Amino acid sequence: MTGARLNRSERERVAAGLAAGLDYAEIARRLGRPTSTVTREVARNGGPDGYVADDAEAAARERARRPRTTPPAVPEPDPRAAFLEEFAENVVSTGVPRTTARVLVQIHSSDHGCTAADLIAELGVSRAAVSNAVVYLDGLRLIRREREPETRRERYVVGDDVWATSWNESVDANARWVANTTRGVEVLGPDTPAGIRLARAARFFTAVHETMSAGPWPLATGEAAAVLRALARAGVPVTADQLRSVLTPDQRAVLRRRA
Protein backbone atom coordinates (compact mmCIF):
# COMPACT_ATOMS: atom_id res chain seq x y z
CA MET A 1 0.00 0.00 0.00
CA THR A 2 3.05 2.25 0.25
CA GLY A 3 2.72 3.48 -3.32
CA ALA A 4 -1.09 3.78 -3.39
CA ARG A 5 -2.92 7.10 -3.26
CA LEU A 6 -4.19 8.33 0.08
CA ASN A 7 -7.86 7.56 0.75
CA ARG A 8 -10.42 9.77 2.50
CA SER A 9 -9.79 8.21 5.92
CA GLU A 10 -6.05 8.80 5.62
CA ARG A 11 -6.61 12.40 4.56
CA GLU A 12 -8.75 12.96 7.64
CA ARG A 13 -5.92 11.56 9.76
CA VAL A 14 -3.47 13.90 8.02
CA ALA A 15 -5.72 16.87 8.87
CA ALA A 16 -6.03 15.70 12.48
CA GLY A 17 -2.25 15.30 12.76
CA LEU A 18 -1.63 18.83 11.43
CA ALA A 19 -4.17 20.23 13.87
CA ALA A 20 -2.35 18.44 16.70
CA GLY A 21 0.96 20.02 15.69
CA LEU A 22 2.60 16.83 14.43
CA ASP A 23 5.31 17.13 11.79
CA TYR A 24 5.11 15.34 8.46
CA ALA A 25 7.45 12.53 9.51
CA GLU A 26 5.29 11.61 12.53
CA ILE A 27 2.05 11.76 10.52
CA ALA A 28 3.60 9.53 7.86
CA ARG A 29 4.80 7.05 10.49
CA ARG A 30 1.31 6.76 11.92
CA LEU A 31 -0.14 6.18 8.45
CA GLY A 32 2.56 3.73 7.45
CA ARG A 33 3.44 5.98 4.51
CA PRO A 34 6.65 7.63 3.26
CA THR A 35 7.20 11.15 4.58
CA SER A 36 7.41 12.40 0.99
CA THR A 37 3.83 11.22 0.36
CA VAL A 38 2.49 13.32 3.21
CA THR A 39 4.69 16.28 2.27
CA ARG A 40 3.36 16.33 -1.31
CA GLU A 41 -0.23 15.78 -0.16
CA VAL A 42 -0.19 18.79 2.14
CA ALA A 43 1.83 21.04 -0.18
CA ARG A 44 -0.61 20.67 -3.08
CA ASN A 45 -3.71 21.07 -0.91
CA GLY A 46 -3.32 24.36 0.92
CA GLY A 47 -0.21 23.80 3.05
CA PRO A 48 -0.10 22.99 6.79
CA ASP A 49 -2.38 25.90 7.76
CA GLY A 50 -4.94 25.44 4.96
CA TYR A 51 -5.24 21.68 4.55
CA VAL A 52 -8.86 20.39 4.53
CA ALA A 53 -9.43 16.64 4.12
CA ASP A 54 -12.65 16.94 2.07
CA ASP A 55 -11.10 19.49 -0.32
CA ALA A 56 -8.00 17.34 -0.71
CA GLU A 57 -10.15 14.28 -1.50
CA ALA A 58 -12.14 16.21 -4.12
CA ALA A 59 -8.95 17.52 -5.73
CA ALA A 60 -7.48 14.01 -5.84
CA ARG A 61 -10.59 12.66 -7.59
CA GLU A 62 -10.41 15.47 -10.13
CA ARG A 63 -6.76 14.73 -10.85
CA ALA A 64 -7.54 11.04 -11.28
CA ARG A 65 -10.00 11.89 -14.07
CA ARG A 66 -7.47 13.92 -16.04
CA PRO A 67 -5.57 12.24 -18.88
CA ARG A 68 -2.03 11.23 -18.01
CA THR A 69 0.78 13.30 -19.46
CA THR A 70 4.45 12.60 -19.99
CA PRO A 71 6.21 12.98 -16.64
CA PRO A 72 8.63 15.91 -16.45
CA ALA A 73 12.34 15.30 -16.60
CA VAL A 74 13.98 14.52 -13.29
CA PRO A 75 15.79 17.66 -12.10
CA GLU A 76 19.47 17.63 -11.29
CA PRO A 77 20.28 17.02 -7.61
CA ASP A 78 20.48 20.22 -5.57
CA PRO A 79 23.91 20.38 -3.84
CA ARG A 80 22.60 22.79 -1.19
CA ALA A 81 19.66 20.56 -0.32
CA ALA A 82 21.95 17.54 -0.12
CA PHE A 83 24.32 19.42 2.19
CA LEU A 84 21.50 20.57 4.48
CA GLU A 85 20.16 17.02 4.72
CA GLU A 86 23.62 15.67 5.57
CA PHE A 87 24.14 18.47 8.12
CA ALA A 88 20.78 17.70 9.74
CA GLU A 89 21.55 13.98 9.94
CA ASN A 90 24.80 14.81 11.71
CA VAL A 91 22.90 16.89 14.28
CA VAL A 92 20.29 14.11 14.71
CA SER A 93 23.09 11.64 15.46
CA THR A 94 23.92 13.68 18.59
CA GLY A 95 20.45 13.01 20.02
CA VAL A 96 18.59 16.12 18.80
CA PRO A 97 15.03 15.46 17.51
CA ARG A 98 14.87 15.43 13.70
CA THR A 99 12.59 18.42 13.21
CA THR A 100 14.61 20.45 15.71
CA ALA A 101 17.82 19.49 13.89
CA ARG A 102 16.34 20.62 10.55
CA VAL A 103 15.29 23.94 12.09
CA LEU A 104 18.78 24.52 13.52
CA VAL A 105 20.43 23.69 10.20
CA GLN A 106 18.04 25.94 8.27
CA ILE A 107 18.75 28.88 10.58
CA HIS A 108 22.48 28.16 10.55
CA SER A 109 22.63 28.10 6.75
CA SER A 110 20.67 31.32 6.31
CA ASP A 111 22.56 34.55 5.73
CA HIS A 112 20.29 36.65 7.93
CA GLY A 113 18.35 34.19 10.07
CA CYS A 114 14.78 32.92 9.62
CA THR A 115 11.31 33.85 10.74
CA ALA A 116 8.76 31.21 11.75
CA ALA A 117 7.08 31.68 8.35
CA ASP A 118 10.41 31.08 6.58
CA LEU A 119 10.94 27.82 8.48
CA ILE A 120 7.40 26.57 7.81
CA ALA A 121 7.77 27.27 4.08
CA GLU A 122 11.26 25.81 3.73
CA LEU A 123 10.81 22.70 5.87
CA GLY A 124 7.14 21.92 5.28
CA VAL A 125 6.39 21.58 9.00
CA SER A 126 3.60 23.00 11.13
CA ARG A 127 3.79 26.22 13.14
CA ALA A 128 3.59 24.19 16.36
CA ALA A 129 6.59 22.07 15.31
CA VAL A 130 8.63 25.20 14.61
CA SER A 131 7.62 26.74 17.93
CA ASN A 132 8.65 23.61 19.86
CA ALA A 133 11.99 23.44 18.04
CA VAL A 134 12.76 27.11 18.66
CA VAL A 135 11.98 26.79 22.39
CA TYR A 136 14.30 23.75 22.59
CA LEU A 137 17.16 25.46 20.73
CA ASP A 138 16.76 28.73 22.60
CA GLY A 139 16.94 26.83 25.88
CA LEU A 140 20.28 25.37 24.80
CA ARG A 141 21.42 28.86 23.69
CA LEU A 142 22.09 27.55 20.19
CA ILE A 143 19.99 30.33 18.65
CA ARG A 144 18.82 33.76 19.74
CA ARG A 145 15.70 35.76 18.97
CA GLU A 146 15.79 39.21 17.35
CA ARG A 147 12.78 41.49 16.82
CA GLU A 148 12.52 42.75 13.25
CA PRO A 149 12.52 46.56 13.09
CA GLU A 150 9.03 48.08 12.79
CA THR A 151 7.31 44.67 12.94
CA ARG A 152 6.19 42.26 15.64
CA ARG A 153 7.88 39.30 13.97
CA GLU A 154 10.77 37.47 15.57
CA ARG A 155 13.77 36.41 13.54
CA TYR A 156 15.89 33.51 14.75
CA VAL A 157 19.64 33.76 14.23
CA VAL A 158 22.79 31.88 15.21
CA GLY A 159 25.28 33.99 17.15
CA ASP A 160 28.94 34.15 16.20
CA ASP A 161 29.84 32.66 19.59
CA VAL A 162 27.29 29.82 19.44
CA TRP A 163 29.84 27.01 19.53
CA ALA A 164 31.82 28.58 22.37
CA THR A 165 28.52 28.89 24.25
CA SER A 166 27.71 25.27 23.48
CA TRP A 167 31.16 24.29 24.74
CA ASN A 168 30.55 26.08 28.05
CA GLU A 169 27.15 24.39 28.39
CA SER A 170 28.90 21.04 27.95
CA VAL A 171 31.44 21.96 30.61
CA ASP A 172 28.62 22.75 33.05
CA ALA A 173 26.79 19.52 32.16
CA ASN A 174 29.91 17.44 32.83
CA ALA A 175 30.36 19.19 36.18
CA ARG A 176 26.85 18.09 37.11
CA TRP A 177 27.67 14.51 36.08
CA VAL A 178 30.76 14.60 38.31
CA ALA A 179 28.71 15.81 41.28
CA ASN A 180 25.90 13.29 40.74
CA THR A 181 28.09 10.22 40.24
CA THR A 182 30.34 11.17 43.17
CA ARG A 183 27.29 11.56 45.38
CA GLY A 184 26.05 8.18 44.16
CA VAL A 185 29.23 6.49 45.34
CA GLU A 186 28.70 7.94 48.81
CA VAL A 187 25.04 6.91 48.97
CA LEU A 188 25.35 3.39 47.52
CA GLY A 189 28.71 2.57 49.10
CA PRO A 190 32.15 2.49 47.44
CA ASP A 191 32.45 -1.30 47.80
CA THR A 192 29.10 -2.24 46.21
CA PRO A 193 28.90 -3.17 42.49
CA ALA A 194 26.75 -0.09 41.83
CA GLY A 195 29.12 2.13 43.81
CA ILE A 196 32.15 0.80 41.91
CA ARG A 197 30.34 1.41 38.62
CA LEU A 198 29.51 4.98 39.62
CA ALA A 199 33.08 5.57 40.76
CA ARG A 200 34.32 4.66 37.28
CA ALA A 201 31.76 7.06 35.82
CA ALA A 202 32.86 9.80 38.22
CA ARG A 203 36.52 9.38 37.18
CA PHE A 204 35.53 9.53 33.52
CA PHE A 205 33.43 12.70 33.84
CA THR A 206 36.06 14.32 36.05
CA ALA A 207 38.68 13.78 33.33
CA VAL A 208 36.34 15.12 30.64
CA HIS A 209 35.42 18.14 32.76
CA GLU A 210 39.06 18.99 33.52
CA THR A 211 39.99 18.73 29.85
CA MET A 212 37.07 20.83 28.60
CA SER A 213 37.47 23.45 31.33
CA ALA A 214 40.63 24.65 29.57
CA GLY A 215 38.35 25.98 26.82
CA PRO A 216 38.19 25.44 23.06
CA TRP A 217 41.77 25.57 21.78
CA PRO A 218 41.10 27.41 18.50
CA LEU A 219 39.47 30.26 20.42
CA ALA A 220 42.30 30.40 22.94
CA THR A 221 44.84 30.40 20.12
CA GLY A 222 42.98 33.25 18.42
CA GLU A 223 43.09 35.39 21.56
CA ALA A 224 46.78 34.69 22.15
CA ALA A 225 47.61 35.47 18.52
CA ALA A 226 45.72 38.78 18.71
CA VAL A 227 47.64 39.81 21.82
CA LEU A 228 50.98 38.86 20.27
CA ARG A 229 50.19 40.81 17.09
CA ALA A 230 49.32 43.89 19.15
CA LEU A 231 52.57 43.67 21.10
CA ALA A 232 54.63 43.20 17.93
CA ARG A 233 53.05 46.20 16.22
CA ALA A 234 53.35 48.50 19.23
CA GLY A 235 57.09 47.98 19.69
CA VAL A 236 56.84 49.71 23.06
CA PRO A 237 55.29 48.76 26.43
CA VAL A 238 51.47 48.94 26.34
CA THR A 239 48.82 48.81 29.04
CA ALA A 240 46.18 46.11 29.53
CA ASP A 241 43.50 48.54 28.35
CA GLN A 242 45.41 49.16 25.13
CA LEU A 243 45.66 45.41 24.54
CA ARG A 244 41.95 44.89 25.18
CA SER A 245 41.11 47.57 22.64
CA VAL A 246 42.49 45.43 19.77
CA LEU A 247 40.45 42.34 20.71
CA THR A 248 36.96 41.62 19.43
CA PRO A 249 34.02 41.75 21.89
CA ASP A 250 33.82 37.93 21.85
CA GLN A 251 37.54 37.59 22.65
CA ARG A 252 37.28 40.11 25.49
CA ALA A 253 34.26 38.28 26.91
CA VAL A 254 36.15 34.96 26.95
CA LEU A 255 39.18 36.57 28.58
CA ARG A 256 36.94 38.03 31.30
CA ARG A 257 35.43 34.61 31.98
CA ARG A 258 38.91 33.09 32.34
CA ALA A 259 40.31 35.86 34.51
Q: What is the reported pLDDT for 125?
A: 93
Q: How many domains does the chain have?
A: 4
* Mean pLDDT, residues 109-138 taken together: 92
Amino acid at the residue 244? R
Domain co-membership, 111 together with 133: yes
Domain co-membership, 179 together with 241: no
What lies within 8 Å, CB to CB, of 140 at 6+ separation is 166, 169
Cα separation, 148 vs 4, in Å, equals 45
Amino acid at the residue 139? G
Domain contains 1: no
Domain co-membership, 34 together with 100: no
Domain co-membership, 52 together with 24: yes
Instruction: Quickly state the pLDDT bin for 236 (edges 50, 70, 90).
Output: low
Q: What is the reported pLDDT for 69?
A: 73
3-state SS, residue 154: strand
Phi and psi angles of residue 114, each rounded to the nearest 5 degrees, phi first: -140, 145
Does residue 194 surpass a pLDDT of 60?
A: yes
Domain contains 142: yes
Instruction: Quickly state the pLDDT bin for 250 (edges 50, 70, 90).
Output: low
Does residue 1 surpass a pLDDT of 50?
A: no
pLDDT digits (tens, 9 = 90+) for 195-216: 999 999 999 999 988 888 876 6
What range defines the domain where residue 109 resides? 79-157
> Rounded to two decimals, what is the model's pTM?
0.49
pLDDT digits (tens, 9 = 90+) for 56-79: 999 888 887 877 777 777 778 788
Does residue 140 surpass a pLDDT of 90?
A: no
Q: What is the reported pLDDT for 213?
A: 81
